[in-house]
């Protein structure tokens, strides 16, 4: 299992990064990104700490821990500059909290995140076909999620992404220990989105392809 979207108590998760990674290791994860929520108030606080703890854990553990960030509920005009700042600070994966149906995310967030060239657009809700095509062009990965609520539009995202040939990844958006999932559960999430086993395998390959772009932590 590769999971590129999780949260620690550095934002609204329940666990220290070290416990999150340890629990992932026990259930068979191979890699996990810690992508705590951030905006202008905490970006320069969260990223250096995640870099340090991921470096320490990678020196001693079996699971690859990746320091990232999820830019969340920003005015869309701030997404591009904060994406650049997050990369400058050393975040290895940049996610944006997409236009999920269950939270009041500003309209235009999906479009600005794709234009900014983030790595993953998380739970993008009722993303448009035009935005899906732009994501393919920009190489932005679209998320299929196991998270309750955000997963309501998995089928919509999967259908349009398949039609356009846009890349998908499957993540948990874990906040609690029980949010982490086994490969068997991940496959069920993919099947529930209307995808097949080959599509599931491709999503896993996409996650590894995304990780292959990254340098050492």
Give residue-wise pLDDT tens across range 28-67: 999 999 999 999 999 999 999 999 999 999 999 899 999 9
Residue 97 inside a domain? The answer is yes
Read off the DSSP letter of residue 179.
Answer: G
Residue 198 belongs to some domain of the structure:
yes
Tokens found for residue 98: 């997409």
Write down the pLDDT at residue 217: 78
What is residue 32's predicted lDDT score, i.e. its pLDDT? 98
SS3 state of residue 57: helix
Q: Is residue 135 part of a domain?
A: yes
The number of folded domains in the chain is 1
- Mutual orientation of helices 79-89 and 43-60 as an angle, nearest 10°? 40
The Cα–Cα gap between 10 and 3 comes to: 18
How many C-alpha atoms does 67 have within 13 Å on its Cβ side?
A: 25
- 217 within domain boundaries: no
CA 128 to chain CA centroid, nearest Å:
19
Look at residue 57 in the predicted model and tell me its pLDDT.
Answer: 97
For residue 64, is it within any domain? Answer: yes
Q: What pLDDT score does 216 carry?
A: 80
- Which string of b and e fits 154-164 if b means at least 16 CB within 10 Å? bebbbebbeeb
pLDDT at residue 206 in the model: 98
- Residue 51 sits in a domain whose CATH number is 3.20.20.140
User: In which domain, by residue range, is 136 found?
Assistant: 2-212
Nearby residues of 191 by Cβ (< 8 Å), 6 or more positions away: 197, 200
Report, as ranges of residue numbers, the positions in the chain whose pLDDT lies below 70: none
């Amino acid at each position: 299992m590769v999971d590129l979207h999780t949260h620690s108590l550095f934002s609204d998760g329940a666990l220290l990064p070290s416990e999150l990674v340890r629990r992932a290791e026990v259930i068979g994860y191979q890699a996990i990104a810690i992508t705590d929520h951030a905006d202008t108030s905490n970006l320069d606080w969260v990223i250096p700490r995640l870099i340090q703890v991921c470096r320490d854990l990678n020196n001693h553990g079996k699971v690859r821990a990746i320091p990232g960030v999820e830019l969340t509920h920003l005015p869309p005009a701030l997404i591009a500059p904060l994406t650049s700042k997050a990369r400058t600070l050393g975040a290895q994966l940049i996610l944006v909290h997409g236009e999920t149906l269950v939270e009041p995310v500003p309209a235009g967030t999906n479009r600005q995140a794709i234009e900014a060239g983030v790595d993953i657009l998380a739970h993008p809700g009722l993303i448009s076909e035009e935005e899906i095509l732009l994501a393919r062009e920009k190489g932005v990965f679209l998320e299929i999620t196991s998270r309750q609520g955000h997963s309501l539009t998995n089928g919509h995202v999967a259908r349009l992404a398949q039609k356009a040939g846009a890349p998908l990844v499957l993540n948990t958006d874990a906040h609690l220990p029980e949010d982490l999932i086994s490969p068997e559960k991940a496959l069920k999430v993919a099947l529930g989105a209307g995808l097949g086993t080959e599509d599931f395998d491709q999503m896993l390959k996409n996650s590894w392809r995304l990780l292959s772009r990254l340098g050492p932590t």
